[in-house]
Structure 1
Amino acid sequence: MPIDIERFESDPEEELKPQGTTNAEVILSFLASSPDQAYTPKEIHEATDVARGSVGVVLSRLESRGLVRHRGDYWAVATGEDVEQTLNSMRIANTVTDRFGPENPDEWGEGIEVGAEDGK
């Protein structure tokens, strides 16, 4: 979602980070941005600001889905199309949420009668 140039120039940098992204998306995006590098969990934490205690859990979950790989203490993005498809799906989901609101269906149609037909 774009922001106006006045906000870009005046807001503190930490407020200009994308909102609504998950730790998994942040870590996977970081690793995918440097597919020729492998990082320790500490390096991933320092580069992404994901809480140190969350990095290992997120990496394990991403590995179980075949999106990252590791050897010893180092982690890298997996090879293959699954990573790019997953990142695209995450971006689309964030865009839809930003545009259409919350996931709670009870909040979608407040004030709208389901099944109502043209005044009948």
Structure 2
Amino acid sequence: MVRLSRVEGSTVPISIDEFDEYESRDQHDTNARRVVRFLAENHEQAFKATEIAEATEVNENSIQPVLNRLRSRGLVRHKQPYWAIGDLERVRNAFVFRSTTEFLDEKLGTESREDWLTAAKADDE
């Protein structure tokens, strides 16, 4: 049996239990969702990016781009070096919109930009 210890920043094999858990994760649970959920659950506090990465299990190399995208959408706030949840109503609306589009995509199929352009062109003729 091979036993390797986890070393921060290195790639090592994972146990089959970890593998099974990883496979069963919700495909819709993105890094951004985990960050927003964590900050919303802790809305009375602000955190450093490294603390958010650790708490959400988002890779430290990915956390800054995720936080910056969320900030550009008004979902998080930033005062160097801290990050906090943005306006809770805006966050709620973003989650409702996203879950609605995912539901519709599952029920009706995803939309195709090409189909929209073809239909618009047909309407113009």
TM over 0.5: yes
CA distance in 1, matches of 2:108, 2:37: 24
Q: List 4+ stretches of structure 1 deviating above 2 A.
A: 11-17, 20-23, 90-106
Deviation at 1:50, TM superposition (A): 1.9
Please, what TM-score do these two structures have when normalized by structure 1?
0.63
| Cα pair 2:32 2:66 within 8 Å, conserved | yes
Q: Secondary structure at the match of 1:14?
A: helix
Unaligned runs of 5+ in 2: 1-18, 115-125
Aligned to 1:87, which of 90, 95, 119? 95
CA change 1:50–1:105 in 2 (3 A) is: same
Equivalence map 1:1-120=2 (5 Å)? 12-101=20-109
| Cα pair 1:21 1:94 within 8 Å, conserved | no
- RMSD value, Cα: 2.7
**Identity within the alignment, %:** 38
Unaligned runs of 5+ in 1: 1-10, 107-120
Structure having greater relative contact order (Cα 8 Å, sep ≥ 6): 1
